[in-house]
Every structure is written in C-alpha cells, then in structure tokens.
Amino acid sequence: MSWNTFGRAFRFTTWGESHGPALGVVVDGCPPGLMLDEAAIQPFLDARRPGQSKFTTQRQEADQVRILSGVFEGRTTGTPISLMIENTDQRSKDYSEIAKAYRPGHADYAYDAKYGVRDYRGGGRSSARETAARVAAGAIARLAIPEVEVLAYVSEIGGDAIDHANFDAAEIANNPFFCPDAEAAKRWEALVDDARKAGSSLGAVVECVAKGVPAGWGAPVYAKLDSDLAAAMMTINATKGVEIGDGFAAARLSGEENADEMRSGEGAGPEFLANHSGGVAGGISTGQPVVCRVAFKPTSSILTPRKSVTSDGEETEVRTKGRHDPCVGIRGAPVVEAMMALVLADHKLLHRAQCG
Amino acid sequence: MSWNTFGRAFRFTTWGESHGPALGVVVDGCPPGLMLDEAAIQPFLDARRPGQSKFTTQRQEADQVRILSGVFEGRTTGTPISLMIENTDQRSKDYSEIAKAYRPGHADYAYDAKYGVRDYRGGGRSSARETAARVAAGAIARLAIPEVEVLAYVSEIGGDAIDHANFDAAEIANNPFFCPDAEAAKRWEALVDDARKAGSSLGAVVECVAKGVPAGWGAPVYAKLDSDLAAAMMTINATKGVEIGDGFAAARLSGEENADEMRSGEGAGPEFLANHSGGVAGGISTGQPVVCRVAFKPTSSILTPRKSVTSDGEETEVRTKGRHDPCVGIRGAPVVEAMMALVLADHKLLHRAQCG
Amino acid sequence: MSWNTFGRAFRFTTWGESHGPALGVVVDGCPPGLMLDEAAIQPFLDARRPGQSKFTTQRQEADQVRILSGVFEGRTTGTPISLMIENTDQRSKDYSEIAKAYRPGHADYAYDAKYGVRDYRGGGRSSARETAARVAAGAIARLAIPEVEVLAYVSEIGGDAIDHANFDAAEIANNPFFCPDAEAAKRWEALVDDARKAGSSLGAVVECVAKGVPAGWGAPVYAKLDSDLAAAMMTINATKGVEIGDGFAAARLSGEENADEMRSGEGAGPEFLANHSGGVAGGISTGQPVVCRVAFKPTSSILTPRKSVTSDGEETEVRTKGRHDPCVGIRGAPVVEAMMALVLADHKLLHRAQCG
Amino acid sequence: MSWNTFGRAFRFTTWGESHGPALGVVVDGCPPGLMLDEAAIQPFLDARRPGQSKFTTQRQEADQVRILSGVFEGRTTGTPISLMIENTDQRSKDYSEIAKAYRPGHADYAYDAKYGVRDYRGGGRSSARETAARVAAGAIARLAIPEVEVLAYVSEIGGDAIDHANFDAAEIANNPFFCPDAEAAKRWEALVDDARKAGSSLGAVVECVAKGVPAGWGAPVYAKLDSDLAAAMMTINATKGVEIGDGFAAARLSGEENADEMRSGEGAGPEFLANHSGGVAGGISTGQPVVCRVAFKPTSSILTPRKSVTSDGEETEVRTKGRHDPCVGIRGAPVVEAMMALVLADHKLLHRAQCG
C-alpha cells in the first residue's frame, strides 16, 4: 500500500491523469480461473460514468475498458490484469488562467509544494477521474468474493438524510442519486439543482453494506479489516470521514446499549441480536454485515468566486467554470462499493494465506 | 503495513499479549543520530499508564520501558530499536468461566472464528495493553519530527462535548481526562463516576492537532496522508470513526463555506483563511495544522450482564468483573497522539525519499 | 516486492504476455522534475530489441514505447509513469500441439501446477518479452541516478570467456553480443552460429559494473544492496546464479587475499587498494564500483527433440520450432543493466528517506 | 522486505547488536495451531552456537531462546511470536583502538558513511550474531511446512570440495564442519586448523536441498521462488554468490544437456529425468528438490595485519585479535537451512492466498 498501489495480497496499482491520453489499473494477485471479460467490468464503469444526468458533470466519457493482459480464453490466469480506459473528452482549452492560480479546496497548492511541478489540466492526478480505474478493479474483486454481496448508496445530501424505513434496494438504480429512498430522491432533485444553478455545491454521505462476509477475515493489529476499510475510503477524492458500524454515534451510547448480544445460532456461529459494531470486532469480521459510512465534502470546483493566490504569490479570485459535479459524493457511491469489494477480496486472500 | 507492522519508511512492529510476560515494539527505519534513552520515552508511557485515577482501570502496571537495541552512546544508530515493557500485574485468576464464553462487544468470537485458538486471558492480543507499545514507538517518532508539535485531548465523553471557547492546552495535564476545558472536566467527573458505579461504560471522542507540518507531506493516491491517518487511528482498540478536518460536518457545508480561501502569506506559501480541510488536500499536507478526530465506543467490559454464547454454542450471560476502564477513550488520547506522530514521521521520510 | 512489483521506494509493476496485445510497466515513486520523453527510453529498448542479427530471435518487434501518464510538459510529475509497448509480431499460428505438451526447461508445467490454467502462446507471462518492460523502466531509473554510470556486457558464452585485458567499453556496441573483447566477439560468431545451426543453444554470463555509487546506499539486514541486486537479477528469465564482487571465487581466497585494504584517499572516504567485495560491505555501498555477475542457462527452446509429457500425462517429444534466441543470455545484457539501475535508484531514495 | 524485515506473508523482523544486551526476532503471519515451545527451537540454535570446537569462534554464548508472545497453551495463536536471546559473553574490553580504525573486509566504513554513527563493538548490527535470530525464526518456519525436509551442509572449504559420491546425510552431525563426506571432513580439520594457526581464514560453499516442496510454490515475476531464495541467502553475512540448481555451470551446458526431460510419473505430475533447474522453473517450484548453493568469503577478521585508515583519515594497520571463526561459512550451514525454510514457508502461504 504505497503511493499508487493498494492492497496486500489482492493488489492494484492505478495510473493516469484527468487530461492525459488514458488511465488504467494493474490488478495483481487475482486468483486464477475466474471468468472475466470486458462485459463483466463495463456495467460498473457505466454506473460511475459522468454526463448521465444534469446532476453530474457534463464531461462525456465513454469509459470503455480494455483488458490488455492476465486473461486467456475468458479466464484469469493468475498473472497481472492490465486494464486501460482512454480519455476521450479531455477538452483542449486555455489553461493559462488556472495554470497559475491555486483553486481553493483543491490539491493545487499542496501538489506544487510537494513536487515543484504539477499537471494543472483538470487537477491532473488528483482528479476524481482516477476513480474509474478503481471501479474497474473493483469489478474484478467482486469475482473473487462471490460469497459476498456489496451495496453502496447515498444516504444524505446537503444534510438531508434518507429515512431508513423507506429503504428499497431496487430504488437505487431508479434515480440519478443512487438513493434507496424514493422520497429523498425526489427532494434531492430540487436540492442539487438549486445548488447547481446557484454556482454552489453540496456534500454527501455514502453508506456501504457487505453481506455474506464470513467470520474471520481481517487481522490484528495493523491489518485490521476496519482499518483497511478506513484507509481505502479515505483515499477516495473529497472524503473527510469514515465510520464503521455506529461510528461516532457509538461514542454516545452506553456499554449496555452498544454490546452486540448473541444467542445460539442456526449456522456455524452465534446469532447476533444487534450490529452496532458494523460486522467487525478486534479488526476481524464477525459474520454480520460489514457496514461503513463515508463523508464527502462539497465539490470544491464552484462558480462562485473564492479568494486565492497564484504560484507567484499574487492574490486573485478563482471561479471554476468547467464541467463539474454539483455534488461529487453522488458518483462516490460506485467508488465506495468498489473499494469495499477490493478490501474484502484482499482480506479473503490474506485469511487463507495464514489460516489455510 | 501488514499484520503487526505499520508504516512504510518509519516502520514499527508490535508484539505481546495482555497476560504474557511482556510486550514490545521494534522500530525500524528511524533516522540515525537522534538522542534517545529510556527517559525520552517513559513520560509518554506514564501518561497512558493505568491505575492513576478511579476513572481508569485499577490494573497496576509500572510500564517501565527498556531499550534493547539500536541505540549506542545515547544516539540512534539507524538500526532497529527494540523496546520491551514487562507485564507485572497480569493477575493469575480463574479464567475457566471466561475461557469459553464470548464477551459481547469484544473480539473473542471473531478471534476464535479466525484462528480456532485464542488466548482468552484479558483478551490476549486484542487487549488495549498493546497500545503501550505504540506509545513507546510514538515517543521515538516525535524525535524524528522536531519541527512538529502534536497534541491530542478528549473532546467529548458520553455525548458531553467540550466548549472550544474554553480550550486551554495547559489544562490537559491537570485532570484525569486529558480535557482542555476545565468546566467539562468537572462535569465528566460525575458522568464517568456514575457510569462506573452503575456497572456501565461510556464512549468518547479524541481530537488531535499537529502544528508545524510543512506543506508537501503525503502522496497520491494510496499513500495519502489522511488515508494513512485514518488507517492508523482505526487500528486503535475501540475506535469506530475517524474524521479529518471538518469530517462529517463538511458533508453539510456548501462549496463556498467549505473552500479554504487563501491570501498572500508572509512565509513560503499562501496564508489560509480557514482550515476546513484539516491541513490535508489531495492527500498532501497544506502547511496548516493537521486535524483529526477519533470516535471511541464505550468500553465493552461492563458489570451489567449481557446475553452471549459459549464456544460450544451454549447460551449464557456475561458480566465482566475484572479491572476495566469505565471509558476506554480517555486513555485513547496518548495513543492517538502517538499514532499521529508515527504517521507524520513516516511521511516526512517518504517525502524526502521521493522529493529529496 | 511482490508478484509483479519490484522495489521499495522507486517501484515498478510490469504486466503483459508474449502474445497479448501489449505489455507495459507502471513506475511509481519516481522523483519529480526529471526530463523525460519517449526518446529517452527508446534507445535502451532498441538495444534489447530482437531480430537485429542472426544471433537473436527473428521475431520482429518495433518495441515502440508510449508514455501514458506521469509526465507533463516534458518533466516527470512525481505521479505514476505508465509505459506501454504494443506487441506487433505475435504470429497467429496453430498452438494445438504446444498447448498440451510441457516444454522441457520451460515453466509450462510449473504454471499449470500452480494456476490450473496457462497462456501457452509463447510462454505467456513467463516469456522473456516481459523484460522489455523492465528495460523501459530502467531507462527512467537512470535519470534518477545521474551520478551513476551503469554498464553491462556479456563476459562468457558457452564457456568461452572474454579476456579482461582486452576490455574495451567502446567495443560493446560494435558487435551483436554486447562483448567488450573484440577477439572474443569474433570467436562467438562461430560458436553461436554453430549452436543455432545444430538446433542447440548456449548459456552465457553477463557482468555489470556501476561506477559513481556513493558510499552509504543499502541497508542492513534485509534491505542489503547486494541482496536486492541478487533478487533483481534472479527475476530475469533464464538466470541461475548471481555473484557480487569475486563471488564464488571469494570462497577460494584466504582472508589476507580477500581483504580490501585501504589508504588515505583524496576524496571523502578512504581509497581502496582492491575491490574483491564488489563495492558492497555489510549490505552497504563502499564507494567503489558495484560489480555483479549473472549466469544465464542455455535457451530452453531448441530444435533438438526432448522427452516430455502432456497435461494429460501422455508421453511425447517436444521440438520447439519457433523463432528463438540461440543464446538468451546475449539479450540479457541490457536487462541486467536495467535491473542494476532500478535497484540503485531505489536505494538512493531509501537512503535519503532514512538519512536525509 | 525492508530494512530488518523479511518475507511477505510469513514475515520476520530481527533486532539486536553483537554487544547489546540481547537480540531477537518477531515472527508475524505464522499459521495458528502449531505446537511450539522453546524446546522446538533450541536444537537449531545449539547447532549454530559458537564455541563448540576449535574451528569456530571461542565466544561462549548459551543462546537460550525465550518465547515472549504468540504462543498459548503450547500452540501458536496466529499473533506475533516474539523470541529473545540474551547476549551473555559480550566481553567488556578496550575498544579505543578499533573504535576509529575501519577493519578491512568489514562494514565499518560503509556504516559510518551511511549513518554517521556506528556501534563499533564487535561490528554492532553487522555482526553475524544476528543470524541466531534467523535460525530461531527458521525453526518456526519448519513447523509451518511439515511436508518439506530441508538440509544444508558445507560442500567446500578453501577450495577443497566434497565428493558427492561420498554423500551421507548422517555424517553431517558427526563432525564440526556440517560435512556430509567423512573424508573431506578429515581433510578440513588440517586445512582449517592451519589457517587458524597462521592467523588467516578460509571461505566456504554451503549447499542446501529442500525435498517435498510441491509443484506450484513461487510466482512470476518479482516474487519468484528462486529470486526470493537468492535475496534470502545474500542477506547472510559474508555471502558473495548464490546458485540455483546448476547455477554458473548451467551457463556452460548446451540446451540439450540442460533440458530437464520428463516422463509419465506415478504421482500427480510428471517424473523428471534430471534436475538441472534445481526444482524451480519460471520462478515456480516443479516438485523436484529445490537446490541452492551459497558462497561465503573468508572471515574478514584475521590476525595478519592489513592496511587501513581511521575515521579521521589517518593510515593504520589492523589486526583483529578477538575471538573469530577461522571459516565463517561453517556456521553458515544452519543459517542457510533456516533461510530456505523461511522462504518456503512464505511461499506456501503466498500460494494458498492466491490459489486457495
């Protein structure tokens, strides 16, 4: 897990910038013999794809994935799987203005301070376009954990949360917000549209639940399943917080309330009477659903002018005119889902390395 | 970062169980030439040490650290630094009851499901005693980042938060709660004492601020400073959530509110007008204070009986009678502080590896 | 360093099979600000390129490299550099025979035993075509260590060694054998041609010398410079042995003979009177030239039939009719050179991580 | 595999200096449920222990190992196993002379150049005493690979090789040289004794054979079994060369000679008619014995004076008067054996991670 690689046993390395010719990912350590072709990956990329509604950026990218290695006669061979997605709509435009000004909320200044050089076109490597590569890798991770069902959805936009009583998984694909609550989705249409028209932007919270994870994945102390999930989620652009199970709310419970009591189960392990822990105890899965929640800040690229400086130290104002998501958290849902699958695939392999 | 090792360049590996003869840590990759002896480490262990007030476990541990390697004539040599802390108060008692019953909220069942064997004495490896080893390692990390000042404190217990207007760093050492708000500390005395007497327990939130971190530490995309911080914090026992900067609150801000505007600074970089980002943008430090917040669940070991099962599948009730912290988050403050120092030391080294 | 990634700080990940659409490499951790374009890489690929004389395989590959990321306005940005080389001469032919028979000396059976599936076209991932990706990565590594001059050459073919008294670096590019001894090169023409005509093949030894490596790169105990070099060289196809400095010959010297005596030097460190150690002591560079030697077995693909079995367990005979190098070690020279540069670049970065 | 840690899945980290209070190792990733106590480790340490004949150093070390964690009720728990060995005979003596002079052939100058500080007492971290920690770790690795039998022995001292026709495994424990050829052992007595009396030293070659390794361990391209073995062996003090199978001799064979032909086998895979490859093809085990050979240079510490310089740049002569092995390769045999076991245990775990 360093620089641009994530994972220990099921590992992936992404590359590519927002406005370069292409981006991609190399997946290494994938089990052999899995059925894999582009069609198994494309639907996940399509879900994340921009330009599909007025609530996401109008950048038009086909996001067609191409498998360049690691698959033979329709099956993974155990050797590295190289995936490439060409950038097709990296509009050539005049960057002279943005080239010098540091956009507030963006990584522009931090990159310059670190590297002394940066690709200012669309944020370069710091662009959320990189997440397409993860989503592609995540599609492969899913194949490695057929016993697990992973589902992510947006649970809150601009402070307006879904009502879990209205939860309907089937609803998620029915609206442009990955929202499982039809009523909330309706409210969000106005909310996001208003923000967009006002040249503003909104934050969001994405929830992710993985069902079918057997007890025993994860490891003490620095390979904890929840620690790896937190790391994974915090690598996604615009994320500022992660919760496992009850998260910060757990800090407000009493010990009695928080205890996940058990009774005799019908299956291999005990039956839990609650899941405050979010399916992880001591860094190891308990067999309950693994639950995590991720906070996305509002999109930093807004039309409203903000004070800033240039790389020469001149004061200036920045308005980001380009095509941007009014709520970057929306398209975060497929990315959170992919990261959950990737972490779980990694831990499945790690578990059988040590425990057979 | 795997199993019991954390870090990429400044790495540490911990070992030891709650009731074994000792616990320890091997710190590898530490720069040579740093002045180091036991006296530079001991104060941090003393701050974390149990048994110092009625608000923490009554287990009495001297927590005397011993340096076994890597230091010569008072200076680090660049070779691995081995630290050992002997366990002195691992009371011999009858574990026959607990040996089979899975304590709710604990990792007992998860460990058994994973390994098929577990050291049930005090939770074995899953005990928070392991954090003594991190605190010792953290003391060395501080020496490697003399330009940085790291401070952690408890900002909330049982839902009762400090008032940041009352913040006084000097107050932190004046009460048994690492609380920077004297009034809150007073309220917490009653709060925690009540929980303790009721056989219950409380959760807490710990905040940590690192000042003096220069712009440029961290790296895209999977070695982000904030991702590593999230991972680090989520490896601490009983943690369920991590926030960087505004965290989940950022998801409720507008883009204009959340933007950290800049103006011409007097130093090397721009001056920021706000720090919603918590000192990290695109995974790289901005030169502002690095801010993180960690949620601790209430201590799982409580006197109040909870339903559970045994490893044989028999239903039972568990009351944890031993010596336990009524609010494990309190002693989490020195551990959070240590982890912040450890992550920053690692990123300082990583930064100069790539960028000279 | 796992699976298809090599290096700790300067890391690269290769992908691709002999008969897939392309192969490539992602270089991660490269310092920013280095001047880089395809023209800086291509000459090294051209040197390794097949089909340039009758002494190497007649496969015709342009081996044109394309930079897909990590470079902006002619400079490295510090983000991952993705390089791709398309396969253009992966002849479509009838593989039905070879698809089942395990070629002796090749990895066919081992791959099948491991993965239960394999890409039999040209050896798939086990083909030496993968080394093109390393050579491309090596060209970037050289840019990161401008203070070092790396040179590899063939010192022995089929047991016929060069005379070091005839050593002329300028000669290396003058013959198809990377041979620094003009007379040996002449003898090898006949030697290799005879083997080729006889449907046989020959082994070789490649030597590599790196001048300009400062004292202090490397690290005890498991990141030793010589250990990493040994690992690097043994990842090259067909290698069976590695020596540092005097290597096995050192095992036949007395302690007096082997001691590299020192006297007062003019530069920073002492002047050494000998270099039996090959520039490494205790895993750390001494400032003398780093010297290593690599043994390549004879090409396993030969026209002479050899006994084998099929994946069904049937006995058979295998003659490898395709286009093959009569002495695979010849084209090993640019690969050894690349690996030396890659290991040194990695250790330069590791050294400054720890020691500033 | 960085700094003082080796291995990917079965990992160990060593610490300690020649003249510090103790040395040790933390083994991480070990499978749970293995029967382990000190008695399972001690015999391997006893075999490596110094002071047992006049052919090894007269330093007297009990080398008593103590298990500090990771074992409960006689079984490994899957958590880190910490082993400690106290140094008991680190004679206090006057180091003022050696403190400044760089001993030729030793790492003294290299350490100083790297770290700017070094523990000059007995070489500090660069001392071969560190290998005691590996031997202890190797004893645990053996438990994780009960299907494999690993055997190392000295095959050559001072250029005088054993006759493989006289090979008798039972003989290895019958002489102070780990020599499987009784006649060679007799010759070596005189050879080594002469060198010792002359204040000189000798090099050696150690061979190691692992039987029972199933086909399929290892992985392309940078986690090759032979690459990891080469790395492992070259981390041992005083090693200068590694060969797998025929090694450098393979470079002198023809393709026909070198091919390991196969016929229909009785077991799972084919039966090989030769083992030039040393049990590894394409980086993956073939099911044949894994064979490797390691060259040890002559001990650098000799009584005969050698020219050198001090850290102040003054010219001087160095005679190493202490207690030293006249042939350090002899005690290398148990260390080579341990490293083979450690690499194989790691690859067993890695294989089942990916391939189930």
pLDDT for residue B314 is more than 70: yes
Residue D137, C-beta contacts closer than 8 angstroms, at least 6 positions apart: D12, D14, D25, D27, D83, D338, D342
Out of B31, B349, B355, whose CB is closest to C31?
B355
CA distance to partner chain D, nearest, from residue B25 (Å): 9
Pick from C65-74, C176-185, C250-259, D262-271: least confident: D262-271
Average pLDDT over residues B281-298: 98
Taking Cα atoms as reference points, which of C40, C48, C2 lies closest to residue C23? Answer: C48
Distance of CA C289 to CAs A244, C244, D311, Å? Answer: 54, 11, 21
Which residues does chain B have within 8 Å of residue A283's beta carbon, measured at their own beta carbons?
Answer: 107, 110, 126, 235
- Please check if B125 is assigned to a binding site: yes
Instruction: Give the pLDDT score at D45.
Output: 96
Instruction: Give the pLDDT score at A143.
Output: 98
CATH of the domain at C249: 3.60.150.10
Instruction: Give the pLDDT score at B295.
Output: 98
Instruction: Give the pLDDT score at D1.
Output: 44
The count of C-alpha atoms lying within 13 angstroms of the C-alpha of C251, restricted to the half-sphere facing its C-beta, is 25
Average pLDDT over residues B212-240: 97
Which residues does chain C have within 8 Å of residue B32's beta carbon, measured at their own beta carbons?
Answer: 354-355
CA distance to partner chain B, nearest, from residue C181 (Å): 39
Instruction: Give the pLDDT score at D50.
Output: 77
Instruction: Give the pLDDT score at B206.
Output: 98
pLDDT for residue B90 is more than 80: no
pLDDT for residue D205 is more than 70: yes
DSSP string spanning C286-353? Answer: -SSPEEEEEEEPPPS--SS-EEEEBTTS-EEEE---S---S-TTTTHHHHHHHHHHHHHHHHHHHHHH
CA distance to partner chain A, nearest, from residue C213 (Å): 25
pLDDT for residue B268 is more than 80: no
Burial (0-12, 13-18, 19+ Cβ within 10 Å), B323? middle
pLDDT for residue B1 is more than 60: no
pLDDT digits (tens, 9 = 90+) for A304-356: 999 999 999 999 999 987 778 899 999 999 999 999 999 999 999 999 999 99
DSSP string spanning B222-245? Answer: TB-HHHHHHHHHHTSTTEEEEEET
Average pLDDT over residues D209-236: 97
Average pLDDT over residues D182-190: 97
Question: What is d(CA A103, CA A122) in angstroms, rounded to the nearest whole number?
Answer: 11
Pick from B149-163, C95-109, D325-339: least confident: C95-109
CA distance to partner chain C, nearest, from residue D73 (Å): 32
Residues of C at the A interface, defined by Cβ within 8 angstroms = 2-5, 11, 13-17, 20-24, 26, 28-29, 32-33, 68-70, 72, 75-82, 84, 114-119, 124-125
- Its sign, for the CA torsion D329, D334, D338, D340, is positive
| Single-letter code of the amino acid located at A267 | G
pLDDT digits (tens, 9 = 90+) for A92-115: 566 777 788 999 999 999 999 999
- Cross-chain Cβ contact B354/C349 below 8 Å: yes
CA distance to partner chain D, nearest, from residue A347 (Å): 9
- Cross-chain Cβ contact D307/C216 below 8 Å: no
Greater pLDDT, A131 or A89: A131
Which residues does chain D have within 8 Å of residue B24's beta carbon, measured at their own beta carbons?
Answer: 68, 82
Average pLDDT over residues A156-171: 97
Taking Cα atoms as reference points, which of B241, C262, C192 lies closest to residue A278? Answer: B241
| Percent of chain D residues past pLDDT 90, beyond the cut | 86
Token code pair at residue D204: 């050696």
- Cross-chain Cβ contact C354/B9 below 8 Å: yes
**Residue C82 is inside which H or E element, if any?**
strand C81-86
- Cross-chain Cβ contact C2/A29 below 8 Å: yes
Confidence category of residue C262, pLDDT binned at 50, 70, 90: very high
Instruction: Give the pLDDT score at D275.
Output: 98
Given its phi and psi angles, is residue B234 left (phi above 0), alpha (psi -120 to 50 degrees) or beta? alpha
pLDDT for residue C186 is more than 70: yes
Residue B91, C-beta contacts closer than 8 angstroms, at least 6 positions apart: none
Instruction: Give the pLDDT score at C2.
Output: 61
- Please check if B66 is assigned to a binding site: no
Residue D144, C-beta contacts closer than 8 angstroms, at least 6 positions apart: D10, D30, D31, D34, D345, D348, D349
How many CB atoms are located within 10 Å of the residue A289 CB? 20
DSSP helix/strand/coil, A231: helix
Taking a C-beta distance cutoff of 8 angstroms, is the pair C109, C308 a contact? no
Give the residues across from B219 on adjacent strands: B223
How many CB atoms are located within 10 Å of the residue A266 CB? 6
Out of C31, C354, C356, whose CB is closest to B354?
C31
Q: What is the mean pLDDT of chain B?
A: 94
DSSP helix/strand/coil, C169: helix
Instruction: Give the pLDDT score at A88.
Output: 87
- Please check if D304 is assigned to a binding site: no
Taking Cα atoms as reference points, which of A12, A7, A315, A256 lies closest to residue A134? Answer: A12
**Residue B280 is inside which H or E element, if any?**
strand B280-281
Token code pair at residue D347: 């690859």
- Please check if A69 is assigned to a binding site: no
- Cross-chain Cβ contact B13/D28 below 8 Å: yes
Taking a C-beta distance cutoff of 8 angstroms, is the pair A288, A261 a contact? no
Q: Using N-to-C axis directions, what is the helix angle for A38-48 and A332-355, rounded to 10°? A: 140
- Please check if C323 is assigned to a binding site: yes
Q: Which residue of D has its CA nearest to A220?
A: D79
Instruction: Give the pLDDT score at B94.
Output: 63
Average pLDDT over residues C187-198: 95
Question: What is d(CA B226, CA A234) in angstroms, rounded to the nearest whole number?
Answer: 7
Taking a C-beta distance cutoff of 8 angstroms, is the pair B340, B149 a contact? no
DSSP string spanning A123-139? Answer: GGGGSGGGHHHHHHHHH
DSSP string spanning B7-58? Answer: -SSSEEEEEE-TTSSEEEEEEESPPTT-B--HHHHHHHHHHH-SSSSTTS--
Taking a C-beta distance cutoff of 8 angstroms, is the pair B120, B98 a contact? yes
Q: Please tell me what DSSP assigns to residue A45.
A: H
- Cross-chain Cβ contact A353/D9 below 8 Å: yes
pLDDT digits (tens, 9 = 90+) for C69-92: 999 999 999 999 999 999 987 665
Token code pair at residue A89: 């709509």
Instruction: Give the pLDDT score at B265.
Output: 84
Question: What is d(CA A223, CA A214) in angstroms, rounded to the nearest whole number?
Answer: 17
pLDDT for residue D58 is more than 80: no
Taking a C-beta distance cutoff of 8 angstroms, is the pair D307, C272 a contact? no
Tokens 């790297």 correspond to: D114
pLDDT for residue C182 is more than 90: yes
- Please check if B297 is assigned to a binding site: yes
Out of A102, A228, A230, whose CB is closest to B242?
A230
pLDDT for residue C233 is more than 80: yes
Taking Cα atoms as reference points, which of A277, A320, A327 lies closest to residue A98? Answer: A320
pLDDT digits (tens, 9 = 90+) for A47-73: 988 777 888 877 778 899 999 999 999
Q: What is the mean pLDDT of chain D?
A: 94
Q: How many CB pairs below 8 Å do chains A and B form together?
A: 393
Instruction: Give the pLDDT score at A1.
Output: 45
- Please check if C93 is assigned to a binding site: no
Tokens 């005690």 correspond to: D331
Which residues does chain A have within 8 Å of residue D356's beta carbon, measured at their own beta carbons?
Answer: 31, 352
pLDDT digits (tens, 9 = 90+) for D95-107: 777 788 999 999 9
DSSP string spanning B82-116? Answer: EEEEE---------HHHHHBPPTTSSHHHHHHHHS
Which residues does chain B have within 8 Å of residue A227's beta carbon, measured at their own beta carbons?
Answer: 231-232, 234-235
Which residues does chain B have within 8 Å of residue D72's beta carbon, measured at their own beta carbons?
Answer: 17, 117-119, 124
pLDDT digits (tens, 9 = 90+) for A207-238: 999 999 999 999 989 999 999 999 999 999 99
Taking Cα atoms as reference points, which of B57, B78, B60 lies closest to residue B69? Answer: B78
Query: Contact partners of B by the rule of 3+ C-beta pairs under 8 A?
Result: A, C, D
CA distance to partner chain C, nearest, from residue B228 (Å): 17
Token code pair at residue C146: 């401008």
Taking Cα atoms as reference points, which of C235, C159, C58, C155 lies closest to residue D254? Answer: C159
- Cross-chain Cβ contact A241/B240 below 8 Å: no
Strands (E) across chain A are located at: 5-6, 11-16, 22-28, 65-67, 71-72, 75-76, 81-86, 149-157, 160-161, 204-211, 239-244, 262-263, 271-272, 280-281, 284-285, 290-296, 306-309, 315-318
Residues of D at the A interface, defined by Cβ within 8 angstroms = 9, 29-32, 78-79, 219-220, 349-350, 352-356
Give the residues across from B316 on adjacent strands: B308
Give the residues across from C211 on adjacent strands: C149
Taking a C-beta distance cutoff of 8 angstroms, is the pair A158, A187 a contact? no
CA distance to partner chain B, nearest, from residue C280 (Å): 18
Distance of CA B137 to CAs B6, B32, C67, D316, Å? Answer: 11, 15, 42, 41
Residue D67, C-beta contacts closer than 8 angstroms, at least 6 positions apart: D36, D37, D38, D41, D81, D82, D83
- Cross-chain Cβ contact A109/B286 below 8 Å: yes
Q: Which residue of D has its CA nearest to B85?
A: D68
Taking Cα atoms as reference points, which of D103, D227, D335, D294 lies closest to residue C244? Answer: D294
Q: How many domains does chain C have?
A: 1
pLDDT for residue C48 is more than 90: no
* Range of the structural domain that residue C144 is part of: 5-355
Q: Which residue of B has its CA nearest to A160?
A: B252
pTM for the predicted model, two decimal places: 0.97
- Cross-chain Cβ contact A119/C72 below 8 Å: yes
Confidence category of residue C93, pLDDT binned at 50, 70, 90: low
Cα-flanking dihedrals φ and ψ of residue C21, to 5°?
-70, -30
DSSP string spanning A284-329? Answer: EE-SSPEEEEEEEPPPS--SS-EEEEBTTS-EEEE---S---S-TT
pLDDT for residue A249 is more than 90: yes
Cα-flanking dihedrals φ and ψ of residue B248, to 5°?
-65, -30
- Cross-chain Cβ contact D353/A352 below 8 Å: yes
- Cross-chain Cβ contact B352/C353 below 8 Å: yes
Question: What is d(CA A341, CA A355) in angstroms, rounded to the nearest whole number?
Answer: 21
- Cross-chain Cβ contact C104/D262 below 8 Å: yes
Residue C322, C-beta contacts closer than 8 angstroms, at least 6 positions apart: C122, C301
The count of C-alpha atoms lying within 13 angstroms of the C-alpha of B242, restricted to the half-sphere facing its C-beta, is 32
Q: How many CB pairs below 8 Å do chains C and D form together?
A: 393
Q: Looking at beta carbons, which pairs linking C58-61 to residues 24 or more positions away fall under 8 Å?
A: C58/C323, C59/C89, C59/C323, C60/C88, C60/C89, C61/C87, C61/C88, C61/C89, C61/C129, C61/C132
Question: What is d(CA B133, CA D82) in angstroms, rounded to the nearest whole number?
Answer: 13
Instruction: Give the pLDDT score at C1.
Output: 44
- Its sign, for the CA torsion B271, B277, B278, B283, is negative
